[in-house]
Structure 1
Amino acid sequence: MQDESPTSPSSDTDPASPPRREFKARGSFVVRCEACNLPRLNCLCPYRVRAESQTRVWLLTHPIEQYKPTNTGRLIRDVLPDTEVFTWYRTAPDERLLALLEDSRYAPFVVFPDDQEGYAERVVGMDRVIERQKTGRIPVFILLDGTWRQARRIFRRSPYLATLPVLPLVTDRQSRYRLRKAASSDHLCTAEVAAELLRQAGDTRAADVLDDYCDVFNDNYAASRRDAKPAEPTPAMRRLLAARGEEAEEVGEHITLSERDEQQAN
């Protein structure tokens, strides 16, 4: 159900009466960064570091989830430039996703627990991911981005996922995500799931960068709720800032070499 505009007439108000003052949601006066959407005081952009990976991540996101500011799926796309994001609609699957699922370059795996009935024969382990990688195909982790209830609905009501191998995340890791209350500490957020899968698949640097970026998001977002900022840089912040510095040096060196080559050519 869509809410009516507070300034527009509705069935239970008098159209002739003057409109009520404009509604201001909580946080509407906060000046936000246009890139990361966090308050400028807690901007995430200085800590954004790109990383390459041999595996890919595709996010199949519930339409409600994509509007939540605490969603961590977007952090994956910030770190891994080849990440694909699709919005899930039960009756209208994304045509581009369907095309990619048919692309022989990729070996997609649906990341989902193996504690449900009806698909035991499809469950595989990380060894299958490594096996596909050795044959020259690009392993893809398809993450169902939403609450557990939403993820189950996506899994059960998406026929195009029904033939794909199911990869459960096997880990003893405990969640450090604290922006939403989880049912259990072993329920990881989307970015944490991606980081753990990347690490198990051998993409260690990408996993480390994503873990640090998620931690910084946690700290900065939590601080923004208090209209404050972390008192001092955390270890994760320091590592990302150092990585940003290394990236800047590499870009500067690349530009210098390009200018030299151009001068020699002339």
Structure 2
Amino acid sequence: MTKRPCCTRCLRPQSHCLCADIPDLHSATELLVLQHPSEQHHALNTARLLCLGLDTAHLLVAEHVPDDWMAWLQDADYRTELLFPGPDAGELASTSDGRPRRLVLLDGTWRKARKLYYLNPVLHPLPQVALPAGPPSRYRLRKSPGAEALSTLEAGVRALGILEPAIDFTPLLRPFERLIDGQIAAMGTLTYQAHFAHRGAGKPGKP
């Protein structure tokens, strides 16, 4: 069977390209998304959509943070935090100490996100922050360990909304909504209802 040609930017089949829905936004906050390599070519790759739509977001596909990113994470001129709800995590807040903000997100299943954390000691000194309770995820196509689980894109949008409340980051959700609706349409209503409609779904932007 001939493989369908794909868009080189969003990596979706050209017939289902999402680029027209991807915004071009700027934030004062820099994001680094560390993505487990197994997620790179997943059909529901929301981390890539987040980074394509935000000019201050960086997508790093690796199990180990390479040396050239160590200085970025350790730069004391920035307030760099890890979106990771560990036992000592505080709630993400807009309060500032005067330094520009940087936020690190781990992209993968909960098990893979935890693995990324433990494989990278450079992440361990970073203050851990968690999102406050909010609306449930719109990520309706993946099983989730809890109703609070969000896709990486949703977690990024919600975090940016807290850090920079004067800016509307919801346009970043447009390609995400179209992606989910397209996947549901392709599988058919009966299949979707049988397997997903009554379950929480989501891939964590935070483990």
Shorter-chain TM-score tier: 0.7 to 0.9
Equivalent runs, 1:93-242 vs 2, <5 Å = 93-114=65-86, 116=87, 120=88, 123-127=89-93, 129-132=94-97, 135=98, 137-203=99-165, 205-224=167-186
Q: Does the aligned pair in 2 maintain the 1:108–1:142 contact within 8 Å? A: yes
Quick one: distance in 1 between partners of 2:3 and 2:187? 13
Quick one: distance in 2 between partners of 1:76 and 1:204? 19
Quick one: distance in 1 between partners of 2:149 and 2:138? 10
Q: Which residue of 2 aligns with 1:70?
A: 44
Q: Which has the higher contact order (CA 8 A, sep 6+)?
A: 2
Shift of residue 210 of structure 1? Answer: 1.4
Shift of residue 181 of structure 1? Answer: 2.4
Distance 1:185 1:105, change over 3 A: same
Distance 1:60 1:89, change over 3 A: same
Q: For 2:145, give the aligned amino acid.
A: A
Q: Does the aligned pair in 2 maintain the 1:39–1:224 contact within 8 Å? A: no
Question: Structure 2-normalised TM-score?
Answer: 0.80
Q: For 1:189, give the aligned amino acid.
A: S
Structure 2 unpaired stretches of 5+: 189-207
Q: Which residue of 1 aligns with 2:56?
A: 82
Structure 1 unpaired stretches of 5+: 1-23, 227-266
Quick one: distance in 1 between partners of 2:15 and 2:184? 12
Higher Cα Rg, which structure: 1
2:35 is the alignment partner of 1:61: yes
Distance 1:76 1:105, change over 3 A: farther
CA RMSD, 1 decimal: 2.1
Quick one: distance in 2 between partners of 1:139 and 1:80? 15
Q: Does the aligned pair in 2 maintain the 1:38–1:221 contact within 8 Å? A: no
- Where has structure 1 moved over 3 Å in runs of 4 or more? 203-206, 220-226
Count of residues in Structure 1 that have an aligned counterpart in Structure 2:
188
Q: Does the aligned pair in 1 maintain the 2:31–2:105 contact within 8 Å? A: yes
